[in-house]
A and B are shown apart, each in its own frame.
Chain A
Amino acid sequence: MKTGSTPSKNKHRQRLWLLSMLLILGVFLSLSLGRYSNDPVKVLNVILSKLGLSVPVDPAMVSIIFNVRLPRVLASVMVGAMLSLSGAVYQSVFRNPLVSPDLLGVSSGAAVGASAAILLGMGLATRQIFAFVGGMLAVFITSLVPRLLRNRTNMMLVLSGIIVGGFLSSVLAIMKYLADEQTQLASIVYWQLGSLASILAEDLQAILPVFLGCSTLLLLLSWRINILSFGELEARTLGVNLRQVRSIVIICASLLTASAVSVSGTIGWVGLVIPHLSRLLSGSDNTRSLPTTLLVGAGFMLVIDTIARTLTTVEIPLSILTGFVGAPLYAILLYKQRARLE
Chain B
Amino acid sequence: MDAILQVRDLGFSYDGSRQIFKAISFDVNAGEIICLVGPNGIGKTTLLNCLAGLWAPLEGSVLLDGKNMAGMPARDIARMIGYVPQTLHPSFDYTVLEYVVTGNAPWLNIFEKPGPEHYQRAEEALEQMAISHLADKPYTRLSTGELQQVSIARAIAQKARLILMDEPTAHLDYGNQLKVLRLIKGLSAKGYAVVLTTHNPDQVLLLDAKTAVIDHQSLFHFGAWQDILTEELLSGMYGTALRLTRVEGVDRMVCIVPGL
Residues from chain A with Cβ under 8 Å of B110 in the complex: 221, 224, 241, 244-245
Residue of B nearest to A220 (CB): B111
Q: Which of B105-146 contact A (CB under 8 A)?
A: 105-106, 108, 110-114, 116, 119-120, 123, 132, 135-136, 138, 140-141
Bound complex: CA A96 to CA B85 (Å): 20
Bound complex: CA A158 to CA B31 (Å): 45
B132 touches A96 (CB 8 A): no
Asked if A233 is at the interface of the complex by the 8 Å CB criterion, the answer is: yes
Q: Which of A218-252 contact B (CB under 8 A)?
A: 220-224, 226-227, 229-231, 233-234, 236-242, 244-245
Query: Which of A12-20, A134-142, A263-271, A278-286 contacts its partner?
Result: A278-286
Asked if B76 is at the interface of the complex by the 8 Å CB criterion, the answer is: yes
Query: Which of B8-16, B93-101, B207-215, B223-231 contacts its partner?
Result: B93-101
Instruction: Tell me the smallest distance from the CB of B182 to a CB of chain A, in Å.
Output: 23
B78 touches A239 (CB 8 A): yes
Q: Per-residue CB proximity of A192-232 to B under 8 Å, as 1/0?
A: 00000000000000000000000000001111101101110
Bound complex: CA A236 to CA B97 (Å): 20
Interface range on chain B (Cβ under 8 Å from partner): 35 or more
B98 touches A227 (CB 8 A): no
Instruction: Tell me the smallest distance from the CB of B110 to a CB of chain A, in Å.
Output: 6
Bound complex: CA A193 to CA B166 (Å): 50
Residue of A nearest to B89 (CB): A231
Asked if A2 is at the interface of the complex by the 8 Å CB criterion, the answer is: yes
Given contacts A226-B94, A284-B93, A340-B93, are A241 and B83 in contact (CB under 8 A)? Answer: no
Asked if B75 is at the interface of the complex by the 8 Å CB criterion, the answer is: yes
B92 touches A279 (CB 8 A): yes
Asked if A97 is at the interface of the complex by the 8 Å CB criterion, the answer is: yes
Interface-central residue, B92, B103, B140, by most chain A CB under 10 Å: B92
Given contacts A5-B97, A95-B91, are A237 and B119 in contact (CB under 8 A)? Answer: no
Bound complex: CA A244 to CA B74 (Å): 12
Interface range on chain A (Cβ under 8 Å from partner): 35 or more
B135 touches A4 (CB 8 A): yes
Residues from chain A with Cβ under 8 Å of B3 in the complex: none
With beta carbons under 8 angstroms apart, the residue of A2, A224, A237, A287 that contacts B52 is A237
Asked if B54 is at the interface of the complex by the 8 Å CB criterion, the answer is: yes
Q: How many A-B residue pairs have CB under 8 A?
A: 100
Asked if A1 is at the interface of the complex by the 8 Å CB criterion, the answer is: yes
Residue of A nearest to B75 (CB): A239
B120 touches A2 (CB 8 A): yes
Asked if B198 is at the interface of the complex by the 8 Å CB criterion, the answer is: no
Asked if B6 is at the interface of the complex by the 8 Å CB criterion, the answer is: no
Asked if B79 is at the interface of the complex by the 8 Å CB criterion, the answer is: yes
Bound complex: CA A266 to CA B202 (Å): 61
Bound complex: CA A229 to CA B92 (Å): 8
With beta carbons under 8 angstroms apart, the residue of A2, A222, A230, A340 that contacts B113 is A222
Given contacts A237-B83, A238-B105, are A283 and B91 in contact (CB under 8 A)? Answer: no
Residue of B nearest to A6 (CB): B116
Given contacts A237-B82, A240-B74, A279-B92, are A5 and B119 in contact (CB under 8 A)? Answer: yes
Instruction: Tell me the smallest distance from the CB of A247 to a CB of chain B, in Å.
Output: 13
Instruction: Tell me the smallest distance from the CB of B65 to a CB of chain A, in Å.
Output: 15
A239 touches B120 (CB 8 A): no
Instruction: Tell me the smallest distance from the CB of B86 to a CB of chain A, in Å.
Output: 10
Q: Per-residue CB proximity of B58-90 to A under 8 Å, as 1/0?
A: 000000000000000111111101110100110
Instruction: Tell me the smallest distance from the CB of B69 to a CB of chain A, in Å.
Output: 13
Bound complex: CA A233 to CA B87 (Å): 11
Asked if A92 is at the interface of the complex by the 8 Å CB criterion, the answer is: yes
Bound complex: CA A3 to CA B58 (Å): 49
Bound complex: CA A244 to CA B75 (Å): 13
B residues apposed to A, CB below 8 Å = 52, 54, 73-79, 81-83, 85, 88-89, 91-95, 97-98, 102-103, 105-106, 108, 110-114, 116, 119-120, 123, 132, 135-136, 138, 140-141, 158
Q: List 20 A-B contacts (CB under 8 A).
A: A1-B135, A4-B135, A97-B91, A97-B92, A223-B113, A226-B94, A227-B102, A227-B105, A231-B89, A233-B83, A234-B85, A234-B88, A239-B74, A239-B75, A240-B74, A241-B110, A244-B110, A283-B94, A283-B95, A340-B93
Task: Across the A-B interface, give the 7 residue pairs with the lowest CB-CB distance, nearest first.
Answer: A239-B78, A239-B106, A237-B83, A239-B75, A284-B92, A95-B91, A238-B105
A residues apposed to B, CB below 8 Å = 1-2, 4-5, 92, 95-97, 154, 220-224, 226-227, 229-231, 233-234, 236-242, 244-245, 279, 283-285, 287, 340
Given contacts A5-B119, A233-B83, A287-B113, 7 further A-B contacts (CB under 8 A): A229-B92, A231-B91, A237-B54, A237-B83, A239-B74, A244-B110, A340-B141
